[in-house]
């Protein structure tokens, strides 16, 4: 049997085309679905008439949801360990700026306790996240 003949010989080359096709399809599927998997904590924010602030960098976000659960970005923490975790996170940062996003149905006392823990962690600037008041509500007042 000669090396170039195809009679009664086995082909020893691996056909990688189907493998590459499957991998490209999987890559496209993951690229499309990855942004959809990013979810935040859903809260109903209070409304305010102040103009929104613009920011170029991403800040640390503390969220209190309707069930009074506390989150640092998307990670749930208890009120007892909030100050400790924040001080660890902020330990290596130059800017000690945090934004608080609380559901509008949360009691004032809960928000004040969380703010106290945040300030106790050494936060220099604490911003409140709200949504702008709609034009219809402005006209009624």
Is residue 23 very low, low, confident or very high in pLDDT (cuts 50, 70, 90)?
Answer: very high
Lowest mean pLDDT among 46-50, 58-62, 66-70, 85-89: 46-50
Alpha carbon distances (Å) from 79 to 57, 85, 89, 115: 26, 10, 16, 10
| Cα 119 from Cα 73, distance rounded (Å) | 17
- Length, in residues, of the chain: 141
87-119 pLDDT per residue, tens = 888 887 777 788 888 888 888 888 888 888 888
């Amino acid at each position: 049997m000669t090396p170039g003949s195809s009679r009664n010989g086995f082909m020893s080359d691996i056909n990688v085309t189907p493998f590459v096709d499957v991998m490209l399809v999987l890559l496209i599927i993951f690229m499309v679905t990855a942004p959809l998997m990013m979810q935040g904590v859903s809260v109903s924010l209070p409304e305010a008439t102040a103009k929104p602030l613009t920011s170029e960098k991403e800040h640390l976000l503390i969220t209190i949801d309707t069930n009074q659960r506390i989150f640092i970005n998307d990670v749930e923490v208890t009120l007892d360990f909030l100050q400790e975790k924040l001080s660890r996170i902020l330990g290596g940062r130059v800017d000690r700026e945090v934004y608080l996003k609380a559901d509008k149905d949360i009691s004032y006392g809960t928000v004040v306790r969380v703010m106290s823990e945040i300030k106790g962690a050494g936060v220099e600037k604490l911003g409140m996240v709200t949504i702008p008041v709609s034009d219809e509500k402005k006209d009624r007042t």
